Amino acid sequence: MSRRKSVPSSSKAGADRKVLFDQLQQIAKGLGDTFAPFCEVVLHDLTHPKNAILAIHNNLSGRKVGQGATELGLARIADPDYAQVIANYANSFSDGRQAKSTSIGIKDADGDYVAALCLNVDLTLFQGLQSAIGQFIKVDTQNSPREMLSPVGADAIREHIDRFAARRATTPRALTTEDRRILLRELREAGCMQVRRSSEIIAAHLGVSRATVYADAR
């Protein structure tokens, strides 16, 4: 059974309720301005379920101010223990467009739901962009010629060393002698040892002497 109480009649309770809804109006407007034009923001007054929609920004659903509460709103009215935040759930607009919705229930001091702030994101554009980007970044790995557009340099050597150390869950300066030997073999195969002053670059990044690099490279 619902614990919902009748709306308090005292002037203070009424004033508090007005302040709450005034603030929610500002929050709804701010969210609407921020996420326009992809996100519809709707403020529901659950104390008047038959005319629940108090404000609607970036209207994507075709609804109007003064329309009734949704099934979710009615569920909150009936059950104060209903989930307060339901985020990123699948939804759809009346014309079939897919949407992602988040609904936030707002309670009063007595723990009863009095409002809901809902965000409905139109996924249509993003799905189109996802498809277009997927096509754009697709590459032919089967018939590609062997080519490197950027020559190996000091930065590439340091990056290679960092990746090697990360694979071993350590830092370049903490590599063991055996790890350094494996690393130097990789650097040689990658053509890094042909770079001018490569031994000096490697030694500085590993925190060892050039003599150590020469010894490990043998």
pLDDT by residue, tens only, the chain of 218 residues: 445 444 445 677 778 889 999 999 999 999 999 999 999 999 999 999 999 999 999 999 999 999 999 999 999 999 999 999 999 999 999 888 999 999 999 999 899 999 999 999 999 888 888 888 888 888 777 776 665 545 568 888 999 999 999 998 899 999 999 999 999 999 989 888 888 888 999 999 999 999 999 998 88
Taking the C-alpha atoms of residue 49 and residue 112, their distance in angstroms, rounded to an integer, is 14
pTM over 0.85: no
The pLDDT tens digits of the residues spanning 95-141 come to: 889 999 999 999 998 999 999 999 999 998 888 888 888 888 887 77
24 assigned to some structural domain: yes
137 assigned to some structural domain: no
88 assigned to some structural domain: yes
The distance in angstroms from the start CA to the end CA of the chain is 81
Q: CA distances (Å), 100 to each of 81, 165, 202, in order?
A: 23, 41, 50
Full residue range of the structural domain in which residue 203 is found = 154-217
Q: CA distances (Å), 153 to each of 167, 191, 194, 210, 213, in order?
A: 21, 10, 10, 18, 18
Residue 177, class by beta-carbon neighbours within 10 Å (0-12 exposed, 13-18 middle, 19+ buried)?
exposed
**Domain C-terminal end among 124, 141, 169:** 124
Same-domain pairing of 91 and 19? yes
Taking the C-alpha atoms of residue 72 and residue 95, their distance in angstroms, rounded to an integer, is 20
Same-domain pairing of 118 and 59? yes
Q: Give the per-residue pLDDT at 2.
A: 47
Taking the C-alpha atoms of residue 77 and residue 49, their distance in angstroms, rounded to an integer, is 8
Taking the C-alpha atoms of residue 62 and residue 92, their distance in angstroms, rounded to an integer, is 12
Same-domain pairing of 17 and 91? yes
Same-domain pairing of 113 and 193? no
139 assigned to some structural domain: no
Cis peptide preceding 37, ω within 30 of 0: yes
Same-domain pairing of 34 and 115? yes
Q: CA distances (Å), 150 to each of 22, 102, 153, 158, 217, in order?
A: 58, 45, 9, 15, 25
Domain count, the chain: 2
